[in-house]
Chains A and B, each alone.
Chain A
Amino acid sequence: MHYFANPTRFSKFSKAVWPYITALAFILLGAGFYSALMVAPPDYQQGEAVRIMYVHVPSAWLAMGIYSLIGALSALYLIYRHPLAAIAAESAAPIGACFTALTLITGMIWGKPMWGTAWVWDARLTSVLILLFLYLGYIALLNSFNQEERGSRAAAILALIGFINIPVIKFSVEWWNTLHQPASINPFKGIHIDPAMFGPLLMMGAGFLFYFISIWLLAIAGKMAARKKMRLRQQQLWKLES
């Protein structure tokens, strides 16, 4: 990991792997969408509507996973003061917010025919909504400072404080009685989902993950370029003044 902490080396590496990751993302997403919409069987109770799951579940995984990633990167930034960690965390935030919004929207579309209501104020739905607010608060706090470094630090601390919400979301379906079902896929308790559905779901999950990595690397490169541009402009101004 120390090897990639050097920004030049990191951008070289990410430029080299980016085409492969992007290609992999599109192949997986294409195959995943095909097998989820065409090959996978309809549910015996929910019929064709179950196919929303292939978007809802992977985006929920990513919504929580990206927040955990931001938390880990923020801790790294606060401990080692390495700007690359802050840049990586900050460029993941808008993407995570989009996946959280996607989770909520697909959940509402799915809930309307299945539960009879698009929204209930129960533990799982509320805690995912809080996750969306945390993402938005993080982005708002980040952008309200004049000094870059103060904003990065404040946002990193906020991300770590907000991290207590992640286990609350994860276990909300087990701690409280809610309308939302408990997780069907648990590495410790086994997989309670038919292989014919699990295969496409896994493919979609991997596709979403690689898609996230692809746009995340782009966002990091963009942010690094923007900072470099600002530094150069500052240097030019100093030269003009002196």
Chain B
Amino acid sequence: MMSLLSLELRQNLRQTGEWLQLLGFLLLSLFLLSWFLPVDVLAAHGIAFIYVIAILASLLSMDRLFTSDWEDGSLDLMLLDERGFACRIAIRVFAFWLALAGSLAIALAPALMVMQQPLSWFWPLLGVMGLAALAIVFWGALLSSLTLGLKGAHYLLFILLLPLLLPILIFSLGILEALGQGLPVTGPLLLTAAFCLASVTLSPFLTAGVLRFTLQ
């Protein structure tokens, strides 16, 4: 299992161009925002800007989770192992999440500087982003298996994923708000974690079922 995980992780990290694109999108849009917005707006809402743009950036990268393996047929090979398929998918999505969280961590320090926020936000923001990204990649895996091989899969995935993710966005922004005001974060944190747990445990089985049907 660990060897599978490291294999997936290596495959993910070799796609340097994709991750650079994500980092570029994130930093460029934040830079443009900080260029045009007045300083007091930046100081008040900078964290929320970083958060929302990071979520959008991670949505943009979701559709290539299965596409290349589907095109070259290795997804069919994976499917031969009937019982381990869901587990295999869970590992792949988890590796994708690790790579995503890693690239967000790289981008976060410059992003905080661009948006004129104190660097003490680094760890809390990274934690909340990582938690939300966990739910996003597992939901995204399910939806990208549904839209696999479609013409406008990229946009369709984006449109379908956004409404489904609204609860997690609301709860995780609640954590950031409570942190910013120095209030206890237990309530929204538990809700976010529960949502993540549900998506991590349910999504691989559903995704495996959908892929099995699609490839037949």
Contact = CB atoms under 8 A, between A and B. Distances in A.
Contacts of A165: 163-164
Nearest to A144: B150
A221 B51 CA distance: 48
Nearest to A134: B163
B206 A157 contact: yes
Given A157-B146, A158-B146, A161-B142, A141 B166 contact: no
B160 A130 contact: no
Contacts of B151: 144
B43 interface: no
B213 A153 contact: yes
Given A140-B159, A158-B146, A168 B164 contact: no
Interface string A111-126: 0000000000000001
Given A130-B166, A144-B152, A168-B167, A154 B159 contact: no
A140 B156 contact: yes
Contacts of B166: 126-127, 130
B160 A157 contact: no
A133 B206 contact: no
Contacts of B162: 133
The DSSP consensus for interface residues of chain A is helix
B206 to A, nearest CB: 7
Interface string A151-183: 001100110011011001000000000000000
Contacts of A126: 166
B160 A137 contact: yes
Contact of B163 (A130, A144, A145, A150): A130
A157 B163 contact: no
Interface residues of A, number: 21
A168 B156 CA distance: 24
A144 B70 CA distance: 18
A164 B151 CA distance: 28
Contact of B147 (A127, A154, A162, A168): A154
Contact of B160 (A141, A145, A153, A168): A141
B210 interface: yes
B214 interface: yes
Interface in B139-197: 142-143, 146-147, 150-152, 156, 159-160, 162-164, 166-167
Contact of A141 (B142, B147, B213, B214): B147
Nearest to B165: A130
Contact of B156 (A133, A141, A164): A141
9 contacts: A126-B166, A133-B162, A140-B156, A141-B146, A141-B147, A144-B147, A150-B214, A154-B147, A161-B142
Top 6 A-B residue pairs of the complex, sorted by shortest distance between their CB atoms: A133-B163, A130-B163, A137-B160, A154-B146, A144-B150, A134-B163
